[in-house]
Amino acid sequence: MAPANRLAHETSPYLLQHAHNPVDWFPWGEEAFARARAESKPILLSVGYSACHWCHVMERESFENPDIARLMNELFINVKVDREERPDVDDVYMKAVQMLTGRGGWPMTVFLTPEGKPFYGGTYFPPADRHGLPGFPRVLEAVARAHRERPADVAKSVQERPFNGNSRIVVESTTAPIADEAKSIVGASVDTCTTSATCPTFKVKFKTRWWPTVNVMSVVTLAANPAAEAVTSYVPGNKLGAA
């Protein structure tokens, strides 16, 4: 058994299950981000939960593998999160993975800049190329190389995520608070104009490379479409769907 890592001091049963992995895991917190900034390394965020079958498979195949763990420790600051303990973190980055890949699930594997912005992600990765999936070591090396050698491409990928402010939203509303609510959805710029006082809904127009469906405080991608302009009608509290 490998010596205990930082997760040995946590209270989450799921995190404690990983306390003796040879991976140098950090719990979610400023310490991990400070280390990433100091060492100019990307963050590997792994999210799962105790009852997740494929989470345990990936642990057995990769996180307990000394060679793969050594690669993780050399190339990344590794952060393990229990989605049942931190649903807020899980929600934010699951949206990112869904936008990046068109699907989501657990274990969730997301690669972040030292500032916490996602630029690549996925779910389960096997320890070697298998069934059309790239092996985890190959993914680790490719992502670390991109972060090190192609920072402009990584920055562009971050900027193209709608929740990072790349979308321009046009809100037609009778009240200013609705515009604020729309802005909170994706953190993008918002323009407002006044419509008929009797109109019970407002329209949100997205000009972005993604064609999203939106809930308050969340973004879920339906499909990637570089030329997409989705216009939707929305009643506060209801789900948005592409028109």
> Alpha-carbon distance 173 to 58, whole Å?
48
The pLDDT of residue 20 is 96
The pLDDT of residue 13 is 96
Tell me the average confidence (pLDDT) per consecutive run of 10 residues in the chain, 243 residues long.
90 97 97 96 97 97 98 98 95 87 90 92 93 91 92 76 38 40 40 34 33 27 28 32 30
Strand extents, DSSP E, 83-217:
108-112, 118-122, 168-172, 189-193, 202-207, 210-215
How many CA atoms are closer than 13 Å to the CA of 52, on its beta-carbon side? 25
Residue from 128, 151, 148, 152 nearest 139 by CA: 128
The pLDDT of residue 24 is 97
In 119-164, which residue ranges form alpha helices assigned H by DSSP? 136-149, 151-159
The full set of domains in the chain, from first to last, is 6-159 (3.40.30.10), 162-234 (no CATH)
The pLDDT of residue 61 is 97
Take residue 4 and report the two structure tokens written for it.
């205990």
pTM exceeding the 0.75 threshold for the entire prediction = no
> Alpha-carbon distance 91 to 86, whole Å?
9
The pLDDT of residue 161 is 54
